[in-house]
Amino acid sequence: MTADVPHALLQLALESADLGVWRLDLVNDVELLRSLRHDQMFGYRDLQPRWNLAVALEHIVEDDRPILARAFERARDEGCLACEFRVRWPDGSIHWIAPRGRTEYENGVARYVTGIISDVTARRRADEEDLQHNKLVAMGQLTAGIAHDFNNVLQGMGGAFDLIEQKANLSTVEGIAPIARLGAGLVERASRMTHRLLAFSRRSPLAPGPVNLNGRLPEIAALLRPTASQHVNVSVSVEGDLCALADDAQLETALLNLLVNARDASPRDGYISVSAASVNADGETPPSAHRLLCISVTDRGSGIAPDDLQRVFEPFFTTKSAGTGTGLGLSQVHGFAHQSGGRIEVESALNQGTTVRLYLPECGANENDAVPSTPGPVVPPPGVRILLVDDEPQVLAMLAAALREQGHEVITAIDAVSALRAWRAHAPLALLVTDIGLPGSMDGCELARWCRSEEPELPVILITGYAGETLKGRIPKAAQVLVKPFSTSTLGHAVTKAVGSLPRHLRCLPAASSKRKSL
């Protein structure tokens, strides 16, 4: 009985650690010892009648077989074995296992290897998720930087085209205005692409509000139908009265991306279903106090290969043929979902179809009853003195020209330091228009707060190439935010709105308003 105690303790330790044991005769390629847990890690309920290195290799995913072969070569030469590889169970599922062992020698020849084996599937999947997350974060930072710089270029181009068109409409030169409109259209097209990049990186400015899915989902699905083949059917099903808290325009873009992907993957006589339901935060029904809305888009098309499924959220990655997709659709949906406080899941199988689930916060009672106000007509104000700040010289020049064209006096500055000098030299100023991302120790938000400390009623318009998590809670009260690129008419409307209720002492415009002042 005493002799059995160490063995019982060893067995208890192995079971507690969820380890299997094995012992292999290297000379005869025969498994001398193995536990039931060993075979269970290869997908079997019972001990198999025959096992050796050759049998083990048959169970290993083909690409990983050299890993085990090299590990045994090292075990013969170096005296220890350690590796990790994937095995395919009889039911087809893939699991990661990790054998560890020591080599015993007889007369200098490697004879036996004895060791343990563990299932490391959970750890490997967690590592893969962390790697994918870090990759997406890095790519998000890269795409945000590219989009920000590109938006500055587009802002200058778009403003220039607007001014050309305005001038051309007042002149007798024929043919200039159509060209200007064409150029402005191209700028708008490029702008939509940068906004999709920013959505992926979760830095696209959102205006969340109540969205009635009972009405909006059929409307959005109807936008796809004119472009879909007559043989692809789209159905919409909404369980109950559902209201999502989301940016309506971005939600429409996200769902159209999902619908277009489903349409492109669907065969002739294909079927796409769109459904929505209220679920718990963990995705289970029925709804509880912590609720999300789940919008599902399902097709019965070609499906996505497992290797590609790991990359579907990467920007510019696409499984479509060259020239038929940008690879920004799912990346935009991914960024929109997470920025909105939700998430996205993709389930797919080759030749069976794909289901994408978009989870978004559900409106509370007050939000559901809210009715967005419609701004009334705005009367253009007389010219006022404006402090304009932007660190991009071309953008600064274009915006200044546009504001002067609208009858305003414009004082320009390239950073916060020169803006403060301009403030002291030219007060009173009726309006501050500043880029948020200024160089130096003071950005546009901080500059606006300083100016408000001097003039509490000062209207503020903030300009940004992107607005991300870092800006939450930093925007000064009642400040307008314009996202580059915007048209000169959008800028003019924002200025009109900002100065529409100015106090009298800020409306004064000196006679020298036609002179250009810059610092």
Residues 389 and 365 in one domain: no
Better-predicted residue by pLDDT, 253 or 276: 276
pLDDT at 410 over 90: yes
Q: How far apart are CA 97 and CA 81, in angstroms?
A: 13
Residues 112 and 133 in one domain: no
The helix or strand, by DSSP H or E, that contains position 179, with its residue range, turns out to be helix 176-200
Look at residues 174, 200, 226 and tell me which one is the last residue of a structural domain: 200
pLDDT at 371 over 50: no
Assess if residue 30 is contained within a domain.
yes
- Mean local confidence (pLDDT), 76-86: 92
Which one, of 510, 490, 485, 504, lies nearest residue 406 by Cα?
A: 490
pLDDT at 443 over 70: yes
Contact status, residue 128 vs residue 134, Cβ threshold 8 Å? no
Q: How confident is the model at residue 195, as a pLDDT?
A: 61
pLDDT at 387 over 50: yes
Residues 56 and 106 in one domain: yes
Assess if residue 378 is contained within a domain.
no
Question: What is the domain-level CATH number for residue 483?
Answer: 3.40.50.2300
Residues 329 and 228 in one domain: yes
pLDDT at 53 over 50: yes
Q: How confident is the model at residue 86, as a pLDDT?
A: 93
Query: Which residues contact residue 427 at a Cβ distance below 8 angstroms, ignoring those fewer than 6 apart?
Result: 454, 455
Q: Which amino acid is at 355?
A: T
Residues 266 and 292 in one domain: yes
Assess if residue 374 is contained within a domain.
no
The helix or strand, by DSSP H or E, that contains position 405, with its residue range, turns out to be helix 393-405
Question: Using 50, 70 and 90 to split pLDDT, how confident is the model at 451?
Answer: very high
Assess if residue 54 is contained within a domain.
yes
Residues 235 and 362 in one domain: yes
Assess if residue 379 is contained within a domain.
no
Residues 35 and 133 in one domain: no
Residues 157 and 277 in one domain: no
Full 3-state SS string of 118-174: EECHHHHHHHHHHHHHHHHHHHHHHHHHHHHHHHHHHHHHHHHHHHHHHHHHHCCCC
Assess if residue 218 is contained within a domain.
yes
Q: How far apart are CA 499 and CA 21, in angstroms?
A: 79
Rounded mean pLDDT of the chain?
78
Q: Report the domain count for the chain.
A: 4
Which one, of 109, 113, 358, lies nearest residue 211 by Cα?
A: 358
Assess if residue 380 is contained within a domain.
no
Lowest-confidence pick of 168-177, 245-254, 291-300, 472-481 = 168-177
Residues 161 and 224 in one domain: no
Residues 254 and 400 in one domain: no
Assess if residue 33 is contained within a domain.
yes
% of residues, the chain, pLDDT over 90: 28
Look at residues 345, 369, 393 and tell me which one is the last residue of a structural domain: 369
Q: How far apart are CA 250 and CA 271, in angstroms?
A: 25
Q: From the CB of residue 472, how many other CB atoms can be counted at a distance below 10 Å?
A: 8
Helix (H, G, I), strand (E, B) or coil at 110: strand
Helix (H, G, I), strand (E, B) or coil at 246: strand
Query: Which residues contact residue 281 at a Cβ distance below 8 angstroms, ignoring those fewer than 6 apart?
Result: 288, 290, 291, 292
Look at residues 144, 166, 200 and tell me which one is the last residue of a structural domain: 200
The residue range of the domain holding 499 is 385-518
pLDDT at 325 over 60: no
- Mean local confidence (pLDDT), 181-189: 61
Q: Which amino acid is at 333?
A: V
Q: How far apart are CA 34 and CA 37, in angstroms?
A: 8
Question: Using 50, 70 and 90 to split pLDDT, how confident is the model at 226?
Answer: low
Q: How confident is the model at residue 183, as a pLDDT?
A: 60
Residues 232 and 293 in one domain: yes
Question: What is the domain-level CATH number for residue 321?
Answer: 3.30.565.10
Per-residue tokens: 442: 């003071």
Q: How far apart are CA 78 and CA 95, in angstroms?
A: 28
Residues 311 and 190 in one domain: no
Question: What is the domain-level CATH number for residue 29?
Answer: 3.30.450.20
